[in-house]
Structures are given as C-alpha cells and as structure tokens.
Amino acid sequence: MVWWRRPRLPADRKPPLERDERVVAWAQTGSGEVVVATNRGLFLPGRTGRLPWHEIHKAVWSGRELVVTPARMVEQREGYVIAEDLPSEGHLLIEPHDLPRQVYTRVTRSVAYTAHHPVPGGGVRVVARRVSGVDGLTWTVRYDPGTDRDSAAVRQRTAELVAQARAAG
C-alpha cells in the first residue's frame, strides 16, 4: 500500500494563525508566493491578514487560476449589514492540490440562506452566513447595481425581506 502525503507548508511561509486555527490546504502561485486556506479563512498574496470565509462573495477555479471576489461591509443596519464587492483577485496556482476544493467547500458551507428579491428600482440578495467563532447567523444584503439603497421604499422593503427570512429560518 502506498501512502501519499502532500508536503507540509514550510514554516517560513506559514501565516500568523490564531489559537485553534489550522492550515487545511495551500498552494504555491506562479510568482512563488503561497495561498493558504485555514479553517477560518484564506490568506492571499498581497493582503495582510486572513480573508474570512464569510467575506468571500465568490470564488471561481478555472483549472489554473483561483479568482476570489471579496466583499466589504459598507453599512450596519438594524439586524443586517450591507455588503458590496471589492475587485476580484486572481492567483495562478502551480500545483493546486486540494486548495480549490477547500475554498469552494468552505465558502459554500458558510452560506445558510440566500435569496434574490425585487425591490423598488432594482433588486437585493439577502444572505445568512455562518461566521467562525460567532453563534447564530450573520445577515447580509447585497444590492444589484443601480439600486438606490438609500431610498425609503428600498430600505423598508429590505428590512421586511430580512425579517421574513429570519422568521422563516
């Protein structure tokens, strides 16, 4: 029987981890840097600190390149947060091993609820996510481009949609 073990992440490449945080996958990029997935998030080249799983709006694997679209929290409202996308970051992975699957699984697993709804003048996606180290769900909304999130009608409808989703969950 042959046992194949993936090489361990070299100690000098290991990002600073919190207590109880562990590396679950890693891969070297074409520029020699590393992308490191932990049980709490993703460390990407050019960023300081970890990008938590619940702050990754989208991650796409092309077979060679991992493209991550992070989200930024822009406003706290009663019972939910408004998020918007930051620019996508692409990283060519030399030997991806298990990293793309781990990223996909962990981002997907963080989503407990998602639904898109029309609102006056546009649309909104209501999302409930699991956040590492936090009990319960964190509710987030992402407005479609062009939707006036500050309009009284949109604010009211969004609050209703989040309340309905929370009550159903």
CATH code given to domain 21-168:
2.30.29.30
Domains of the chain, residue spans = 21-168
How many Cβ atoms sit within 10 Å of the Cβ of residue 80?
22
| DSSP 8-state secondary structure symbol assigned to residue 13 | G
Q: Angle at CA 145, nearest 5°, toward 143 and 150?
A: 55
pLDDT at 37 > cutoff 90 = yes
**pLDDT at position 154 over 90:** yes
Here the tokens at position 112 are: 């407990």
pLDDT bin (cut points 50, 70, 90) of residue 3 is: low
On whether the CB atoms of residues 114 and 120 are closer than 8 A, the answer is: no
Q: How many residues does the chain have?
A: 169
pLDDT of residue 134: 87
